[in-house]
Chains A and B, each alone.
Chain A
Amino acid sequence: MSEERMNEERMTGDRMLGDGIARQELNLMFIIDNSGSMAGEKLGAVNNAIRDVMSIMPEVQEDTSDAEIRISALQFSDSAKWVYSEPKSVSDFKWKDLSPEGGTNLSAAYSELGKWLSKKSNGGQMPDIGGVAPILILMTDGLPTSPDWETRLNELKKKGWFRVALKYALAVGINSDEAMDVLNKFTGNPETVLKVYTAEALRKAIQVIAVTASKVKSNSSSKGTGAGGAVVNNNEVAVAEVAGKLEEVDDIEW
């Protein structure tokens, strides 16, 4: 007998009274620069990394009944576009390789992200009830070609969902201070801006950040002396765990 069939026969009546617990949504978002300069191994590493992440995510999801992980991806070049029109569950999110094209319109990406980071009842994609602070991972290899990116970022910062999010930025082969400044402004925390120098380091960084942060934010116990309470800032715990795991990876620099 198939597992599904067997499950159907179990507690038939009971399942008519609802078949699962209400979970809080945890949104994981990839914001990917697919401009022409990302062509070759950089974008190849991104495509590979997200596939790796998706092969590990079912285990992360299966370990917790508290959070339901939702994944979205925004690609930006001359314009910005969501890979799916809504965040997808771990089982429904299928990765399609991105191809390089055009410039680096970060302004368009920030505008799209801003629209996404509103409650569904306000036209966005965030849950109306019970959502935890999202995880945003931005990856880019150069300066934005859109001059008004900072105005758009300031608009984005007005969004509560953006303010509470755990924000990472991966600087792919970037050396200029000016370009680093753009990313520091996005995360608001230099600790979560990582310089990656090789495709392998990029792949590893994406994987570790996405998986570790999702794990910590969906499923972890608080530790401590108890003084001051047991509420912990999960973003800080995740940052510490990610840092620990990336410590030994070559070609990554904080």
Chain B
Amino acid sequence: MPDHPSYDELTSGFSWSIAEKELEYTPGDIINIGWLCSDRICQKGKAAKVALYYEGFGGVRKQYTFNDIRLAGNTIGTFLRSLGITPGDRVCLFMDRIPELYLSFLGILKIGAIVQPLFSAFGDESLFVRLENAETRAVITQKKHLSKVRKIRSSLPDLEYVIIVDKVKASELEPGEILFNLEEAEPVEQFDIHPTLAETPSVLHYTSGTTGQPKGVKHVHYSVISQYLTTKWVLDLRDDDIYWCTADPGWVTGTSYGIIGPWSLGATQCVLDTGFSAQAWYRFIENYRVTVWYSAPTAIRSLMKAGDDLVNEFDLSSLRHLASVGEPLNSEAVIWSGRVFGKQFHDTFWQTETGSIMITNFPGMKIKPGSMGKPFPGITGAVLDPVTYTPIEEPGKAGLIAFRPGWPSMMRTYWRNEEKYREKFVNGWYLSGDRSGIDNEGYYWFIGRDDDVINTGGHLVSPFEVESALLEHPAVGESAVTSKPDDINMEVVKAFITLKPGFTAGPDLELEIMNFIRKKLSPLAMPQDVEFLDSLPKTRSGKIMRRVLHAREWGEEIGDISTLEND
């Protein structure tokens, strides 16, 4: 007897109303993600069930029931309201993966404000452009990240409040900085949830593009419909599961599948807030008896590098279902996981803009190692000809991955950038910016990006952003940024630089430039290799030909260089 329905059974007669019915949502009603993830679960008789197991560095452990997270959301929401935060205001979460991050997420949504999660490793420049663009009114952060916020505060007139969730002496606070310690706050039992509707904005994630500044991807409360059903069907979460999503909520996986998906299902999840170590990860799975594990290819390849023997030191028999996201999962990793865990990782494909899983290897579906799988029911996907933007019928032929708009969690716009949003659509298709082919059984096979955006360790880095930041270094005359291959991260950032007169290339300057970008933008954006050149390849009109450098790094054909300046 098969454990799961077949792909054809899932897609036959599919409608998103399946999720609406299960969540007891009628179109036109109030729908609030914060309420669905906590109050509703309590009303279903699961108030005492554990919602979150948290483990921090040094063995710090905490746990919260669904009633605890309901109360915490109420308490944080009440506090924000007392400051004058109103529906539609942007409230940024700039924290490590501590419980306050997850709980504040619910509290912000409950008052109808918009959550703006940002990766806590961002440097001050990355933080600034995102807060400035969103006209963020409040930032919730930790003392350890306060110095970055303080550095840019005076240039952000909309930023009224900086809320610090851990202990800081009141005498150390600057104007507009407020302490809020959840453990010391009086829990709020009665709370009026803001009556958000399907199209009310919920989450604003930032993503990088080839050109221009990062774009704020606006999602709405109705997105939960997709996130709920994909969590249930793709991640296969069941009532007795212990779920671990390793993604940071600074990125979309960490909110769609690290908060909304599992908690809207009433599932128990666990969070490990420490640096990566294969041993620590295996111990975590063993200790918490993790059953469903959603991770990323970079992490999986790092585990492979740590060796098979280490796996055997731990009891990982609790694992029931494994899935992966962020970048293509190579076939070796799929086969390896089958060998050492007895379960293969199921690759999933989606983006910040799509809000939920679009193409996937379903549980029970035959996995073709290296393939992304097939579109989720209700998703009309295609691979388009890059010239005509019409679907390619020929199996295996490469084209642009595209989707017909209309699924619940699709972004509604780019924040204050409607023009860029419209550019994502051609002939009624949403263009993902990724390329693949489709085989004769309907499986998608990832090929690469259709632009210059760098996908390093599952995170997108804009070459434009790094190039711009490089030019602020006193030694840099010109810069070009591309990717180079990397065994663990798939690709990493590489910078090509010409120096201003008076500066000499050398290893110390290379390190100085690396650290300059790391602190200004983020460790992800830091070039892991800096090459000093006498000149950069340019067109006759003076435009830097990034693709020539990219081709060289990847050992590819350079292609047409008829416009090259010095050919």
User: Does B bind A?
Assistant: no
Q: Which residues of A contact B (CB under 8 A)?
A: none
